[in-house]
Amino acid sequence: MEHLECCARLLRRTLVHAAVRRYLPWALAACMLAGSLLKELSPLPESYLSNKRNVFNVYFVKLAWAWTFCLLLPFIALTNYHLTGKAGLVLRRLSTLLVGTAIWYVCTALFSNIEHYTGSCYQSPSLDGVRKEHQNKQQCHGGGGFWHGFDISGHSFLLTFCALMIVEEMAVLHEVKTDRSHCLHTAITSLVVALGCLTFIWVCMFLCTAVYFHNLTQKVFGTLFGLLSWYGTYGFWYLKAFSPGLPPQSSSLNLKRDSYKE
């Protein structure tokens, strides 16, 4: 338990800091551009992380929204109820997860449709010989072909959005004070460590996507969708009265408005 406490304290001093919420979006965009340029100009040698079947990609990234949803659900519920004691407000704040689910669904469906309508089926990855008998990606792959279209990076989108959403929700820890002997303290501490580790994985895999996968344009669009989804919710809509709202903090609305003005 002592090790868990140390990890939680470290995360409180880093991820919960206002500067992280302010500069992480810019850092992600810069890393995406730098990694993409590195991939184009001086590709890194293949490694375990460049294999799409690596454990982090298969069991974490491909389930990124599920992991984020399942950990934020109890975290938001416990911290917001502890601070407000109002079930209605907790339910309102939990609706951020429904909004996030809608954003994830709409964006991934949009990306899939764009790839479909801009793509064609080829005999090989070298784009030799168009196979016109296959009209969609599923048929193409089923027939042993290779589908090539404008494939916006879903990883860049989702990892950006998930990392920023976790950091935004963890801002509530500035206000949370619990008795160390209480089971609530253990639950929140465990969730803080889990969410911190998850954020670290999302950022690392975002960097791997930047240096190993997709082209620059695909990653720019993916990252841009992630940033716009975050800013459109936490930077704009959640500041309004008719919205899920921001995590409860002292003068949170004014602080948030000031941070975005800067």
How many whole angstroms separate alpha carbon 92 and alpha carbon 3?
A: 34
The two tokens of residue 93 are: 């704040």
Helix H or strand E segment including 130: none
Catalytic residue among 155, 174, 182, 185: 155
Catalytic residue selected from 17, 174, 182, 214 = 214
Q: Look up residue 213 and give its DSSP letter.
A: S
Structure token digits, residue 42? 């001086």
Residue 127's region, left for phi above 0, alpha for psi from -120 to 50, else beta, is left
Regarding pTM above 0.85, the answer is: yes
Residue 100 to residue 106: CA distance in whole angstroms: 10
Instruction: Give me the helix-helix angle, 18-41 and 252-261, nearest 10°.
Output: 40
CA 16 – CA 12 distance, rounded (Å): 5
Roughly how many angstroms between the first and final C-alpha of the chain, as a whole number?
40
Catalytic (active site) residue 155: yes
C-alpha pair distances (Å), 235 with each of 156, 164, 229, 239, 244: 20, 11, 9, 7, 12
Positive or negative, the CA dihedral 212, 218, 224, 225 is: negative
Annotated active-site residue 214? The verdict is yes
253, two tokens: 């609305």
Please report the pLDDT score of residue 252 as a whole number. Answer: 43
Per-residue pLDDT of the chain (262 residues; tens, 9 = 90+): 677 888 888 888 888 888 899 999 999 999 999 999 999 998 889 899 999 999 999 999 999 999 999 999 999 999 999 998 899 999 999 999 999 999 999 999 999 999 999 988 888 787 777 887 777 888 888 878 888 889 999 999 999 999 999 999 999 988 888 777 678 888 999 999 999 999 999 999 999 999 999 999 999 999 999 999 999 999 999 999 999 999 987 644 444 444 544 4
Strand extents, DSSP E, 135-182? 146-148
